[in-house]
Amino acid sequence: MNKLIIAIFLILGITSYIYSHRTDDVIVAWCRFIAGIVLIAIGAIGWMVS
């Protein structure tokens, strides 16, 4: 994977994870939390593979 794509996945995952704690709606918070974890995992796996 391209280093730029990996960096974008990691940044999006971290920001999604951080903003999941700043909402009042529980369902939206869980969706952002899970999406953040998945994006961080994709970025980390891509970084380890390359």
DSSP codes of every residue in 1-50:
--HHHHHHHHHHHHHHHHHGGG-S-HHHHHHHHHHHHHHHHHHHHHHHH-
Q: Extract the residue ranges of the chain whose pLDDT is less than 70.
A: 1
Kindly give, in sequence order, each residue whose CB lies less than 8 Å from that of residue 45, ignoring residues fewer than 6 positions away.
none
Q: What is the reported pLDDT for 46?
A: 87
What pLDDT, on the 0 to 100 scale, is given for residue 33? 86
pTM of full prediction above 0.95: no
